[in-house]
Chains A and B, each alone.
Chain A
Amino acid sequence: MIRVIASISGLVLAVGILYALQQTKPGYADITKPIAVHGTIGDRLMARNFELTATKVTLAQRIVLRTGTKEQVFETTGLWAVVEAKAAARHESVTVIAASWRGPSGSRYAMSQRFSTMPGLLPSERLEPGLPRNVLMLFELPENQVKDATILVSRTPFAPIDNELHIKANVPIPLFVRNVARVTRGSTAGDWRLEIQ
């Protein structure tokens, strides 16, 4: 009788331990997740192969791309977050193509892909070592995702065991939403300037 109880309780214990192991096992996404580098607006953050300083976050209702006298207007159902930054490569020329805005709900808003020809966007700029350059990141998001947000920047969208910058956005409340963020193309290739109205 005692032996039967012992073997049954042994079985129950084994099942319990196996279940606990199964439930607490880190998933594939946890094992391969990028290594975070934390900071805030104004911090010079170092990733493995690039460095970036986010300098300013501006909210706007629409984005306008001006080429010569022609203007192209980009509207949204939410609002635009315009993030200005200075970025450079560290050891070797590199292109940084992934950035997203993580709102308070944990949702990730990837950099907008609606601008095919806009100059100065982070993913279209080749970064060189020792040559910091001004870049823009443009996000389209609902108003309730603006506060307590983090800007995530990494070299590629799936960056296992590479660095990912986690930049606290710290947008002041109440929100100050500007009317227009206008990017004007300069006279030489790749030259641009940003005006806020």
Chain B
Amino acid sequence: MMATLIPPTPKERRAFRLNALALLVAVPLAVAVGSYEDVMEWRSAQELNAIVAAPNKSAIYAGAEWRMERVHRLNEPGSAALVVIVEFEATVKDPAAFAAACNVALTDASKRRWKPQLLTPSIGRRVRPEAAERPRCGSASLKPVKAGDTIKMAESFLTPPDIGDIDLIVSLSTARPTYLVLD
């Protein structure tokens, strides 16, 4: 029934061991090469290292110099929410790096994040109409920008009334995983 096996020669045995050892290197290498692009793509979607602009100071980020201008906290009568409008500006140095998809969020000491509203709430349009007319961060780069332009932007948020000291977080796809914090 059984095929009679001839025992392997010492030479064959050595070749077998060598190949088994080579696998230990080849398999992790294959995984690393195969996933490199995915890992890089994941990394470029994350916000990992911060550039912090202290209050009343500017910071260089994504080919522009960013500065916080004003923060308005507005109470709409009859609503439990606080409307926060943040006005900020960027002086462009490298238009290619600045013209990119922009993520904005508001955060406080509790590390919760509020994403911006698509439309400025009505109280914001009444109290700060000039802020409501400013472009949002994502739409500011839709128009062509030149080096040296100063772009004035505004974002509005709905937050609980007891929100503490707030930071604005800005990140552009050209600069991620680095992000900007405007204090």
A interface residues (Cβ-Cβ under 8 A, vs B): 90-93, 126, 128-131, 188-189
Tell me, in angstroms, the Cα distance from A161 to B157 when the chains sit together: 30
- CB of B159 within 8 A of CB of A130, answer yes
Q: Which residues of A contact B115 (CB under 8 A)?
A: 92-93, 126
Nearest opposing residue in chain A for B116, CB measure: A93
B positions within 8 Å CB-CB of A: 80-81, 105, 111-115, 117, 122, 157-160, 162-163
Chain B residues contacting A126 (CB-CB under 8 Å) are: 115, 117
Distance in Å: Cβ of B179 to nearest Cβ of chain A: 15
Interface of A is mostly: loop
A130 with B113: CB separation less than 8 A: no
With A91-B111, A93-B115 in contact, do A128 and B122 touch (Cβ < 8 Å)? no
Q: Is the CB of A91 within 8 A of B159?
A: no
Q: Which residue of B lies closest to A91 (CB)?
A: B112
Q: A51 CB to closest chain B CB, in angstroms?
A: 12
Q: Measured between alpha carbons, how far is A54 from B126 in the docked complex, in Å? A: 35
A53 to chain B: closest CB distance in Å?
A: 16
- Ranked 7 nearest A-B pairs via Cβ: A130-B160, A93-B115, A129-B112, A92-B113, A131-B160, A128-B158, A93-B114
| Interface pair A93/B163, CB less than 8 Å apart | no
What CA separation (Å) do A138 and B72 show in the bound complex? 37
Contact of B158 among A90, A91, A131, A188 (CB under 8 A): A131
Contact B80 A92, beta carbon cutoff 8 Å: no
Name which of A91, A129, A188 has the most chain B CB atoms within 10 A of its CB: A129
B168 vs chain A, min Cβ distance (A)? 14
Residue of B105, B112, B117, B122 touching A130 (CB-CB under 8 A): B112
Contact of B114 among A90, A129, A189 (CB under 8 A): A129
| Shortest beta-carbon distance from B138 to chain A in Å | 15
Q: Which residues of B contact A90 (CB under 8 A)?
A: 112
Given A92-B105, A93-B113, A131-B81, list of 11 further CB < 8 A pairs? Answer: A90-B112, A91-B111, A92-B113, A93-B105, A93-B115, A128-B114, A128-B159, A129-B114, A130-B160, A130-B163, A131-B159
CB distance from A129 to the nearest CB of B (A): 4
Q: Give the chain A neighbours of B163 by CB distance below 8 A.
A: 130
